[in-house]
Amino acid sequence: MAAMPVVSVLSGSPVAAAERPEPPFFRDLNLDRVCAGVTAGREQYDLAPFFRTPLRDADAVQYRHEVLRDLEKQDTAGAVAGFAERMRAVRDRLAQARKLRYRYQKESWFLGAARGYCAAVRALADALGGAELASRGLIAFRDYLAGYAASPEFASLAGEAAEVASSLDGVTYCVNVRGPRVIVTRYEGEADFSADVAATFAKFARGAVKDYRAAFRTWPEMDHVQEWIADRVARLFPAEFAALDGFCARHGRFEDETIVAFDREIQFYLGYLDFIAPMKAAGLEFCYPRISAADKETDVCGAFDLALAAKLAPRFAEMVSNDFRLSGEERIIVVTGPNHGGKTTFARMAGQLHYLASLGYPVPAGSARLFLPDQVFTHFEREEDLATLRGKLADELARLRDVLAAATGGSLLVMNESFASTTLRDAAFIGERILGQMTELGLLGVYVTFIDELASATPACVSMVGTVNPEDPAERTYKIVRKPADGLAYAAAIARKYRLTYPQLKERLAS
């Protein structure tokens, strides 16, 4: 019965996600952290391949938006989460059954797995049956599931499992241990000793006292004494145990491929929704971006760095959001401003936004119109400890050359604080050339630099600047706004705060 899944909630045309290494830009954009956050606790689903496979056309993105909108509805989300939990238990029980060696134990674990599976399928079919679905993906899956749950094979699996389990639940037996001698009988209503003891001394009862109960570790395996007892219990209850044997002999592998695939793929969505849920609850906004693979018009309001938000949790109120826009010929945002003023965060945010959009996810912004890039590139300063500055600059330029060679007019390039290892004049010179090449390619770019002049290097460039609070110039706002570069404003402010301006220094040195 093993076969390719018939229906996929990730794509209208199901394909297996190939294993692939983490893209190099993940680390620069902190997407590795986002990926870790989204997949945390979901290791068993192996979601990373999905996270590393961006979509290339707008309809594929739309397909996922539809599923996500369905999943954002309370009843659908609850149904799917409940299903996932049941399926996890099924896998655990099957693994346990494989590990054990005593016959009745193996069989009992197997029976438990089968019952869990049937319950999972039924609960999901019921819940989805009553849910208002609009997505192509979930509607197709619901139809498939309904057919499966109504099939005679499934009905016989579920019916038998329930019957066998219920008769085993009715088994209660007694063991009397006197020295090495053990006698196993049916339970016949003997009185509970602890209750009688408590009753005798009840008149002394007063508030809470210490709990003297020993905590016993439990593990799945039986020791040989337990097996000997179980053998005798089986003789005391022959019909119940024969039914168990029969069930396991008749039902071998019971899971359906398409349902198993759904269980994995839906986690790609749930992981992200769980990841952003606390942020949404705290008032941070997410939206489904308007996506185009052709039009580079860009308009984003209230966007923030998702990795930073996750790190700040739960102090989400401290998150600062930013807007940016590219229209007409504009392609490259050149960001200047105070150190630690949020420039790098802004650049990462812009990169994350495009990549998350290409996975079909809602993006961390109030509203967004985005271009779907064919590839994402980053060029962040590397930490490598090269022998000379010259070596470091050479290395940087070599990497950048490779990037520009691989990039197309449909790519996104995020650059951060490059060429800091050379003189201002050299850096300005190189920066102008790079911006020229980027402009020529026509790609989308975010270019973080400390060189004001670059802000207007080419007509494709848009200048954005980190701002300071006019009331307290030393306070950083992390707001990046569209305006001409004015790098000196902050330097003067921070100098005043530390009384290091010219008049201040004169006065202090004079006294």
Partner 1 sequence: MKARLMYADRDFDPGAALPVNEPDLAADLELGTLLDVMAGGDKFLFGIARRGLHSGLTDPAEIIYRQRVLTDCVAQPDVVRALYDLAVGAVDADRHLFGFLFRDSPDTILARSRQVMALYVTSLRRLADLGAEHAADFASQGFTRFFAMLAGELTSDYFDEMESRLAELELKRGTLMSARLGTGAKGTGYVLRRHPPVRGWRDRLPGRNRDAYSFTIPDRDEAGARALSELTSRAVNETANSLAQSADHIKGFFQVLCAELGFYLGCLNLRGRLLAEGLPVCYPVPAALGTQRLHADGLYDASLALTLDGPVTGNDVAADGRRLIIVTGANQGGKSTFLRSAGQAQLMLQAGMFAPARELTGSACSGLFTHYKREEDAAMERGKLDEELDRMSLIADWIRPDGLLLCNESFASTNEREGSQLAREIIRALTEAGIRIVFVTHLYDLAEGIRARGDDRALFLRAQRENDGVRTYRLLPGVPLPTSYGEDLYQEAFGADREATLL
Q: Which residues in this chain contact partner 1 in the complex, by CB under 8 A?
A: 96, 100, 104-105, 107-109, 112, 168-169, 171-178, 180-188, 190-198, 200-201, 203-207, 209-214, 216, 220, 222-226, 228-230, 232-233, 235-236
C-beta closer to partner 1: residue 96 or 421: 96
| Mutual angle of helices 31-39 and 257-281, in 10-degree steps | 120
Token pair of 329, please? 């010929």
State which amino acid sits at residue 160: E
Residue with tokens 């060696």: 101
48's enclosing H/E stretch is helix 48-51
C-beta closer to partner 1: residue 99 or 499: 99
CB of 220 to partner 1, least distance (A): 5
Nearest to 478 by CA among 491, 465, 489, 487: 465
CB of 118 to partner 1, least distance (A): 17
C-beta closer to partner 1: residue 132 or 169: 169
State which amino acid sits at residue 359: L
CB of 253 to partner 1, least distance (A): 20
CB of 88 to partner 1, least distance (A): 16
CB of 219 to partner 1, least distance (A): 9
88, burial (CB in 10 Å: exposed 0-12, middle 13-18, buried 19+): middle
C-beta closer to partner 1: residue 234 or 386: 234
CB of 117 to partner 1, least distance (A): 16
CB of 456 to partner 1, least distance (A): 57
Q: How far are the Cα atoms of 117, 305, 350, 412, 415 from residue 296, in angstroms, in the given order?
A: 48, 21, 14, 11, 19
Nearest to 371 by CA among 385, 383, 355: 355
C-beta closer to partner 1: residue 116 or 337: 116
CA dihedral sign, ordered 43, 44, 48, 51:
negative
C-beta closer to partner 1: residue 112 or 373: 112
Per the rule left: phi > 0, alpha: psi between -120 and 50, beta: everything else, 340 is left
Q: Residue 128 in contact with residue 138, Cβ under 8 Å? A: yes
Q: Within its chain, how far is the Cα of 409 from the centroid?
A: 30
118, burial (CB in 10 Å: exposed 0-12, middle 13-18, buried 19+): buried
C-beta closer to partner 1: residue 168 or 495: 168
CB of 113 to partner 1, least distance (A): 11
C-beta closer to partner 1: residue 112 or 360: 112
Q: Say which DSSP state 454 is in.
A: G
C-beta closer to partner 1: residue 107 or 396: 107
CB of 163 to partner 1, least distance (A): 15
* Neighbour order of strands in the sheet with 290-292: 290-292, 367-371, 298-303, 322-326
Which residues are within 8 A (CB) of 502 and not within 5 positions of it... i.e. 6 or more apart? Answer: none
